[in-house]
Structure 1
Amino acid sequence: MRSTPAESPLSKAAVSPSQGHDLSETDLYLWTQDQAALLRAKRRQDIDWHHLAEEMQRLRIEGRLDVSPSLRAWPETVLSKACHLGRVRAADETGLAEQACPPACPYTLAQILDDSVYPGALEPRFT
């Protein structure tokens, strides 16, 4: 017996994605649900493999930082690189000079990794 569209396990966005791969950046939860539905439906050609692999790796690393001694130094290692990349992207997206962004991350690693910390908005330093 064929299922009707109302009975389909795929979400509306998975059946007819209107936002394409951008959904992984605009609504992560909806994107993960759509990817799971596509996997269950064996629609391999429609899966966002690149973003799916990145998300799986991120989740795997986040879940193991506390129990893997070899990964404990990883956040500190990538923090300055990530901050530099953020400056470059922010300058590119806003048209401001890269020097208008903070030269270093304004938060400690402990603050970044603490889910209960919400630092709020920083005062912009436009020159």
Structure 2
Amino acid sequence: MPKIEVSLTFGETVPVQGITAYLANKTRSPRVASNVKMGVQSLKFCSSTVDCRKFMTPIPKSAAQLYETDFVAWTEKTVQLIRAGQFGQVDWDAVIEEIESLGRSDRRELKSRLEVLLQHLLKWQYQSSLQSGSWQNTIDEQRNKIVDLLQESPSLKFYPEEVLAQCYDRGLKAASNETELPINTFPVECPYSIAQILDGEFLPDAIDS
């Protein structure tokens, strides 16, 4: 019998006779390997290279449509399929898209909170006569949320520094709008270091215009 190889989606090939063990090792799921083995038997007399995806059950149209029509239902269905080891029915393109969007979402949230934090630090410093517990609560909340994001995603450790200039420009404009002070009242560049911005005890000294 000729040696039959199966092309895997990530560019590897293995003998059909070893595909079950191979998949069990790659996926850590004997159930997946067992399911694939059923499809492998049909290749008994074939000598061509076969795409591994042919062994996967096509994604039911209704499941794929859930991603566009009911996101919560799609997440619940996807979790059920993964826990049941029914990987062939998972809409992996959608899963990948959502994982990527999570990273983008964390970055967007961090930038947004940094902008608000800088806005309130400037207000605190340049409109000290109106300082209030509400302002301090906003400062504390933004700091806490930023710290939480950095703890949950350590890879974002240097991101605040990377976007500081952009966030300061936006926070500066917002501070000018709210205080009704001319924008040239404030420093052109951020006067605070990242360490100060995230320091729970730091509040800038008042500068009354």
What's the TM-score once normalised by structure 1's chain length? 0.42
Greater Rg by CA: 2
Bigger relative contact order (CA 8 A; separation at least 6): 2
Flag the structure with higher helix content: 2
TM-score, normalised with respect to structure 2: 0.28
